[in-house]
Structure 1
């Protein structure tokens, strides 16, 4: 059983994040609006805000007594204020809050009574409309506590122009060994690196490889899993990429995006959401892109994984839970709303929307490839993993281990040491 220390770490982490953020737009309790209606309040960030506002306007057309105030603030501010409010028993919290996949379990485990039980309110009838990895994530003791929203199905975004120059075809890349060999060919023929990685600061590739093997930093029972066979395999691939001389050191988000859009690297394994950054920051590269499935560890193995994603929760402290539920059920299960979200750059996890024409369209920026059809076909095959409430601490230790491994420490030694340190920090 996790000790109280693990909970303290989780709480402290989100508070520190909040202290470092400067993108706060204030709070927003429920209350009476200027129109005299009882107003619901939701906290969200970035491109989620206009999607919520659009859905609220449509919902209000059929529900004239409904009004939603969407308060936009930075991600870390949301978590900081949410944690503070939960510690105060719900004081100052809104009715609805956006929570990312990797944060949800930390909150539900630390504050188990803070969120509305959606199963008791009828949401189990909607479960079949979402992939298992989402509904399992949002379930505790057999009940669901979150509305699934966007997902992060993965793929390898690649530069067609670089692949063509090197004579490499993505259809031939079926395994991670194939990926490394293709990278060597590309480097030899074009001088370009295969991939950009921040090996000393982030472990996104490692996390994707863990998930595709059906595990994570912790196993299904919540035990530290960093020294597992799956973890060793993922670190071996990372080290082989580095040793092959096909990794460009990209420290931070902007250098990573620039390396792709400027043609310094040939690929970027990532979530479907990367589409938005590529098309916005690489507008002059239209037609030069493609996407193929994440390589498997062995031919015929699983090629589906996830990176990113979020969900909405209703706070137990809300005095308008039923009204919030009605809106969020509409929001999360209405095809029209989810298509709007899709067009805003958020990949929906609602499976009934995948028959929409947008998922069958050829995308000009990607040389008329039907990339959304590929991502949609992956959703049901994404394994569910256990983030636990110690996700942030475990990520810190995983990044440290990765840095040591690519700089010469034997894989087994680095991972075993990471296990010991992580246990000391969380148990």
Structure 2
């Protein structure tokens, strides 16, 4: 594993090591945090509230892109903590790799005082993501419970009831009717560039790129079942080719596609970019693979870590314990499209009230209801390699170059070679 991270470092770092974080010598009560975009205002607001009881507290928030965060975090970790801040935000698909490879680099929250009562305030799958040997090493923050975001106007025109789509077979049949009646595609996918739908389907079946022993699992029966749905959608001419984020979002807000299976965070994007489509949206849980099967899954989410090299680790812990369990903070995060992992707030009005953009549907409750049913899966530190190979296999399988079994058998072989 050390060799792997060293190779990764050579690929992503420029020259030299990071300079140490500034300002702490002047203010011993100052913390520095590395985060990205919508997380900045949430931290800023929480800092002001926290300062009411801790007036000396000062939080320097350094905003950067996610790739920059990981580049600098990896560089600093391999340098023994040099140049790292006190707090770093890490996504769900990356956190396991960092904790497994550098367990001594992150503050052990369980030993710091994050007891079982506090742990129980978060769903099991989030706790498992940030734990090693029974101890937690990061504070769960946002999550990505999934659902099918759909255009009510298109469904109504086709005479299809979205609530009847209880299985993926139902989803395909509904798509055929919608295409026949309206000419609209059922879904937008970038089959050659991203595998988000495939990952959701794996997760809902309780598996992932890797099995419970962290061994490559691309040839599993669950993987084949997930890709069979992709292939059926493609062969039925129900897929609009949406290359990249902008094309995918545009296809939804312009009404070119009828559905978008995705994580809860999609609500923020379509609300902001599709104001003219307000009232025409609904959300249902993902269809199951068989009648009565699991419909809960997750796509996206992040967690806050404290670096063990921090000179103010106890202060960082106290602030993040407050931050991660403060209900007002979680509700503010929702304004930026982040879905909170803190289960104690799911009875608040923001969840139970209807949302005008979604025609009065209580969409947040629809999403929150599945949080305790989301299976825990292994991302591992090889997630980037696995995703790359899965996307290649998806392209080959849905493009007809290879059968599903052949494509994923070859992908698994390549993945194993990359993991050496």
Tell me the TM-score normalized by structure 2. Answer: 0.96
| Deviates further, 248-257 or 102-111 | 102-111
Q: Residue 214 of structure 1 corresponds to which residue in structure 2?
A: 206
Say if 1:32 and 1:106 are closer, same or farther in 2 by CA, change over 3 A. same
Report matched runs for 1:103-118 at 5 Å.
Answer: 103-118=94-109
Retained in 2: the 8 A contact 1:93–1:315?
yes
Q: Residue 334 of structure 1 corresponds to which residue in structure 2?
A: 326
| 1:220-259, Cα deviation, whole Å (9 max, x unpaired) | 1011000001101001111111011000000000000000
**1:361 Cα shift?**
1.0
CA RMSD across the alignment:
1.6
- d(CA) in 2 for partners of 1:365 and 1:226? 38
Number of residues of Structure 1 aligned to a counterpart in Structure 2: 415
- d(CA) in 1 for partners of 2:198 and 2:95? 21
Give unpaired runs (5+ residues) of structure 1: 20-25
| 1:318-341, Cα deviation, whole Å (9 max, x unpaired) | 010100000000000111111111
Tell me the SS of whatever aligns to 1:91.
Answer: coil
Q: Residue 357 of structure 1 corresponds to which residue in structure 2?
A: 349
- d(CA) in 2 for partners of 1:90 and 1:392? 23
Tell me the SS of whatever aligns to 1:223.
Answer: coil
Tell me the SS of whatever aligns to 2:186.
Answer: strand
Retained in 1: the 8 A contact 2:269–2:337?
no
Q: Residue 155 of structure 2 corresponds to which residue in structure 1?
A: 163
Residue 397 (structure 2) aligned to one of 399, 405, 410: 405
Alignment of 1:374 with 2:366, yes or no, is: yes
Retained in 2: the 8 A contact 1:193–1:247?
yes
Retained in 1: the 8 A contact 2:179–2:186?
yes
Give unpaired runs (5+ residues) of structure 2: none
**1:87 Cα shift?**
1.3
- d(CA) in 2 for partners of 1:165 and 1:91? 60
Residue 198 (structure 1) aligned to one of 177, 190, 194: 190
Tell me the SS of whatever aligns to 2:104.
Answer: coil
Tell me the SS of whatever aligns to 1:369.
Answer: coil
Tell me the SS of whatever aligns to 2:52.
Answer: helix
Alignment of 1:225 with 2:222, yes or no, is: no
Report matched runs for 1:26-425 at 5 Å.
Answer: 28-29=21-22, 31-32=24-25, 36=27, 38-125=29-116, 126-408=118-400, 409-425=402-418
- d(CA) in 2 for partners of 1:317 and 1:396? 33
Tell me the TM-score normalized by structure 1. Answer: 0.94
| 1:57-79, Cα deviation, whole Å (9 max, x unpaired) | 10011112211111111111111
**1:38 Cα shift?**
2.3
Tell me the SS of whatever aligns to 1:89.
Answer: coil
Say if 1:8 and 1:413 are closer, same or farther in 2 by CA, change over 3 A. farther
Tell me the SS of whatever aligns to 1:355.
Answer: coil
Retained in 2: the 8 A contact 1:293–1:303?
yes
- d(CA) in 2 for partners of 1:243 and 1:27? 55
Q: Residue 5 of structure 2 corresponds to which residue in structure 1?
A: 7
- d(CA) in 2 for partners of 1:415 and 1:63? 54
- d(CA) in 2 for partners of 1:139 and 1:69? 27
Tell me the SS of whatever aligns to 2:81.
Answer: coil
Q: Residue 22 of structure 1 corresponds to which residue in structure 2?
A: none
Tell me the SS of whatever aligns to 1:280.
Answer: helix
| 1:69-128, Cα deviation, whole Å (9 max, x unpaired) | 111111111111111111111111110000000011111122121100101001133110
| Deviates further, 372-381 or 334-343 | 334-343
**1:9 Cα shift?**
5.2
